[in-house]
Amino acid sequence: MNKYQDMLIKDNAFRIGDTKFTLAGNGKAQIENVVTDAASGQTYLDTAYAIRSS
């Protein structure tokens, strides 16, 4: 099943739900996701990096 959502791309970044993608322009991106701990209910920011392979 495909899902579509409108998004605003501003300052080389866009957000889908609780996830923000920031494009660096050199084949790299930073992905930030807000995660909620099911046991405690606390939220934290999970950050990952993606590099485009050639």
pLDDT higher than 80, residue 54: no
What's the one-letter identity of residue 39?
A
Residue-wise pLDDT tens digits, 2-45: 777 676 778 889 888 888 999 887 889 999 999 999 999 999 99
How high is the pLDDT of residue 45? 92
Q: Is the pTM of this model over 0.85?
A: no
- Measuring CA to CA, how many Å separate 1 from each of 4, 19, 26, 52? 10, 20, 32, 26
Confidence of residue 53 (pLDDT cuts 50, 70, 90): confident
For 40, other C-beta atoms within 10 Å of its C-beta total 7
Distance between CA atoms of residues 36 and 32, nearest Å: 13
Joined tokens for residue 52:
């485009």
Cβ contact 54:42 at 8 Å: no
The pLDDT value recorded for residue 22 is 92
